[in-house]
Amino acid sequence: SLFSREPRMTINPNYESIGKAFTQQYYALFDEASQRHQLVNLYNVSSVVCPLFQSSILPALTRAEQSLMSFEGQQMQGSMKIMEKIQSLTFQKIAHLITAVDCQPTFDGGVFINVLGQLK
DSSP secondary structure string, 25-61? HHHHHHTBGGGGGGGHHHH---EEE-TTSTT-EEE-S
pTM of the model: 0.71
Q: Following CA atoms 48, 52, 58, 61 in sequence, which dihedral angle do they give, to the nearest 10 degrees?
A: -60
Q: Please, are residues 82 and 76 in contact by the beta-carbon 8 Å criterion?
A: yes
pLDDT tens sequence across 69-87: 888 899 998 888 999 999 9
Architecture label for domain 14-46+59-119? Roll (3.10)
Average pLDDT on 89-101 reads 89
109: left (phi over 0), alpha (psi -120 to 50) or beta: left
Domain ranges of the chain: 14-46+59-119
- What is the rounded CA–CA span in Å between residue 6 and residue 10? 12
pLDDT tens sequence across 33-56: 899 999 998 885 543 334 444 444
